[in-house]
């Protein structure tokens, strides 16, 4: 009974992915590409001729990498700083951190659009990176913070007492202890970035990320090569996460 | 001793500023100031060329009371409510089963909830549209089985919008529930059973109260975003079941009335603040919303 119930839930979760994977092998060439016309591998080949699609994918990856690096760096040192030091206005920073997490993404999107438009920052790669970094920072901080609770400050003091400076101590003592939290936060930042639709939709200018490319193609029917690329991305992320997660689990032990 | 304290305080100022400074500036520039811009814009007017001019008006807020808009707010709140209730109703027993399973594949069962979310959400929502569409597998199956003589129109109503919302937001319900249920102390359940409580009584009087925090954070994480997910309402609702997000999106794109869109966003911000306040009153922990 409970196995049946859980299986139905998993079926629900994976059903549309099954549709995507199956459609990536669909031999149909007529819009909206939904009628099954037989099996083919062609779309996986044609995918590599579709330069706009590949460019969109490259853009998505570049934005995800840069915003992950930025948000992980800023978020990690901020989490450590907020944990170690008491200062006025800490509550304000905390309050601001919760905003991107709880507020509907569309509000974050239009508020950034309003900012960029009023300050005449041209929308494109730069604004996408700024926007993605903004929504990722709180997730990095929360993940690192979860790791910090119960963190023993005395090992840092020992390091300082033994003559190491603050920077050496940070890189050799603090960072290794926090690695799983940082890794988890970075992974979350990366996945949020590659999947982001709403915030990108308002901050992209002429630049098309992969999700925005999909959005554009939905009106006329999503072509099988988009399904093929999605299938490849899914396989890629599964591999990436299996590799990184197994490392994280090892470090936890 | 006093001298020592003073010395430590002084030496901590620089590291504190260098560590917390960047995030403070970032949040000020990209969260606080943009929201202030939205607030100001919601009181601005449009000139004849659809340019925003800084001339104070309450007209945008008056337009929010347009019955057509009010109908969409109510419909959007209904969609959010149904989505949350369905996510709890399915997510709770599901999380319970995978959090307390004895199976050695527990970690895998948990990962299987997250894996679908590594595929772009738009394309998965489109996957549902393909599945339910007139030429889709479901209609093909029903016609081949003789259960339908022509394709059934499943799509483009409130039901399919709710389906899409549940689909997109389900993990945000499962993750906090899973955490709360996994933390349950087995000995409390045994104590309840030892003291003669029936399973149902233990569930209602012990398990539910102890996992309430998970239900609260899951509900917040499901209810609020569903007010804004305009693309789900677009793709699966087909314009017949818009959410507040659709109204905002239109003003900032095709409608080109940013001040009105800003005023609509203020509504969404107020709803969010209200729900978060209630959540905090009920003892909810803000950090558990982000992990």
Residue B243 · residue B230 · CB < 8 Å: yes
Determine the residue among A24, A36, A72, A107 to mutate to test chain B binding: the one whose Cβ has the most chain B Cβ atoms within 10 Å.
A107
Backbone angles phi, psi at B45, to 5 degrees: -110, 170
B232 neighbourhood in chain A, CB within 8 Å? none
B228 neighbourhood in chain A, CB within 8 Å? 104-107, 198
Kindly state whether residue A57 falls inside one of the protein's structural domains: yes
**Does any CB of chain A come closer than 8 Å to the CB of residue B287?**
yes
CA distance A142 to A136: 10
Q: What is the ipTM of this complex?
A: 0.90
More confident residue, B253 or B288: B253
Kindly state whether residue A39 falls inside one of the protein's structural domains: no
Residue B1 pLDDT > 60: no
From chain B residues 236-255, the ones with a CB under 8 A of any chain A CB are 245, 248-249, 252
Kindly state whether residue A97 falls inside one of the protein's structural domains: yes
Q: How many CB pairs under 8 A join A and B?
A: 238
From chain A residues 3-42, the ones with a CB under 8 A of any chain B CB are 5-6, 9-10, 12-20, 23, 34-35
CA distance B92 to B106: 16
The mean pLDDT value of chain A amounts to 89
Which of B268, B282, B128, B124 lies closest to B218 in space, CA to CA?
A: B282
pLDDT recorded at residue B2: 44
* B277 min Cα distance to partner chain A (Å): 12
Kindly state whether residue A27 falls inside one of the protein's structural domains: no
Kindly state whether residue A18 falls inside one of the protein's structural domains: no
pLDDT recorded at residue B3: 43
A16 neighbourhood in chain B, CB within 8 Å? 116, 124-128, 130-131, 167
Contact A87 B20 (CB under 8 A): yes
Q: For A186-207, what is the mean pLDDT?
A: 93
Q: For B247-275, what is the mean pLDDT?
A: 94
The domain tally of chain A equals 1
From chain B residues 198-217, the ones with a CB under 8 A of any chain A CB are none
Quick: pLDDT tens for A126-155: 999 999 999 999 999 999 998 888 777 788
Residue A211 pLDDT > 80: yes
Q: What is the extent of the structural domain holding A153? A: 52-228+236-252
pLDDT recorded at residue A187: 87
Q: For B111-126, what is the mean pLDDT?
A: 87
Which of B53, B33, B32, B58 lies closest to B43 in space, CA to CA?
A: B58
Quick: pLDDT tens for B136-185: 889 989 999 989 888 999 999 999 999 999 999 999 999 999 989 988 88
pTM for the full predicted model: 0.90
B289 neighbourhood in chain A, CB within 8 Å? 98, 101-102
**What's the longest Cα–Cα distance across chain B?**
89
pLDDT recorded at residue A245: 66
Domains in chain B (CATH in brackets) are 66-289 (1.10.3720.10)
Give the CATH number of the domain where residue A88 resides: 1.10.3720.10
Residue A248 pLDDT > 60: no
Kindly state whether residue A222 falls inside one of the protein's structural domains: yes
Kindly state whether residue A161 falls inside one of the protein's structural domains: yes
Kindly state whether residue A120 falls inside one of the protein's structural domains: yes
Quick: pLDDT tens for A77-101: 999 999 888 888 889 999 999 999 9
Determine the residue among B126, B164, B270 to mutate to test chain A binding: the one whose Cβ has the most chain A Cβ atoms within 10 Å.
B126
For residue A247, name the pLDDT band (cuts at 50, 70, 90).
Answer: low
**Does any CB of chain A come closer than 8 Å to the CB of residue B181?**
no
């Amino acid at each position: 009974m409970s196995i049946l119930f859980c299986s139905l839930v998993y079926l629900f979760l994976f059903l549309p992915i099954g549709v995507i994977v199956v459609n990536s092998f669909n031999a149909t060439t007529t819009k909206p590409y939904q009628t099954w016309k037989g099996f083919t591998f062609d779309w996986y080949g044609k995918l590599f001729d579709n330069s706009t699609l590949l460019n969109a994918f490259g853009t998505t990856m570049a934005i995800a990498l840069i915003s992950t690096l930025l948000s992980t760096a800023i978020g990690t040192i901020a989490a450590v700083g907020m944990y170690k030091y008491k200062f006025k206005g800490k509550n304000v920073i905390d309050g601001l951190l919760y905003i991107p997490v709880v507020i509907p993404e569309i509000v974050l999107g239009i508020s950034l659009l309003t900012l960029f438009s009023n300050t005449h920052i041209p929308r494109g790669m730069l604004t996408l990176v700024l926007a993605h970094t903004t929504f990722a920072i709180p997730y990095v901080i929360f993940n690192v913070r979860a790791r910090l609770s119960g963190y023993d400050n005395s090992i840092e003091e020992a390091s300082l007492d033994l003559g190491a400076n603050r920077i050496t101590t940070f890189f050799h003592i603090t960072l290794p202890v926090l690695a799983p939290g940082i890794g988890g936060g970075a992974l979350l930042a990366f996945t949020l970035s590659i999947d982001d639709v709403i915030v990108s939709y308002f901050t992209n200018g002429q630049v098309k990320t992969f999700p925005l490319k999909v959005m554009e193609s939905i009106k006329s029917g999503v072509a099988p090569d988009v399904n093929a690329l999605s299938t490849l991305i899914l396989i890629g992320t599964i591999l990436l996460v299996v590799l990184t997660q197994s490392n994280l689990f090892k470090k936890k032990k | 001793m006093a001298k020592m304290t003073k010395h430590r305080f002084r030496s901590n100022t620089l590291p504190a500023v260098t560590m917390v400074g960047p995030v403070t500036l970032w949040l000020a520039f990209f969260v606080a100031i943009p929201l202030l811009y939205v607030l100001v814009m919601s009181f601005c007017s449009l000139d004849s060329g659809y340019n925003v001019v800084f001339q104070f008006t309450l007209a945008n807020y008056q337009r929010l009371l347009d019955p057509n808009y009010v109908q969409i707010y109510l419909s959007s709140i209904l969609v959010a409510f149904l989505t949350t209730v369905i996510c709890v109703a399915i997510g709770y027993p599901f999380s319970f089963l995978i959090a307390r399973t004895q199976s050695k594949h527990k970690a895998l069962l948990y990962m299987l909830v997250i894996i679908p979310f590594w595929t772009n959400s738009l394309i998965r929502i489109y996957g549902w549209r393909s599945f339910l569409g007139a030429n889709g597998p479901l209609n093909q199956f029903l016609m081949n089985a003789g259960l339908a003589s022509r394709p059934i129109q499943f799509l483009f109503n409130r039901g399919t919008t709710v389906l899409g919302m549940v689909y997109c937001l389900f993990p945000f319900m499962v993750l906090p529930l899973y955490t709360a249920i996994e933390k349950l102390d087995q000995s409390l359940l045994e104590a309840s059973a030892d003291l003669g409580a029936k399973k149902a009584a233990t569930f209602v009087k012990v398990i539910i109260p102890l996992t309430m925090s998970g239900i609260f954070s899951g509900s917040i994480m499901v209810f609020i975003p569903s007010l804004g997910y305009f693309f789900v309402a677009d793709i699966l609702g087909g314009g017949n079941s818009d959410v507040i997000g659709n109204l905002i999106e239109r003003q900032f794109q095709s409608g080109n009335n940013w001040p009105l869109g800003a005023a609509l966003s203020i509504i969404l911000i107020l709803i969010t603040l209200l729900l978060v306040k209630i959540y905090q009153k009920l003892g909810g922990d803000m950090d558990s919303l982000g992990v």
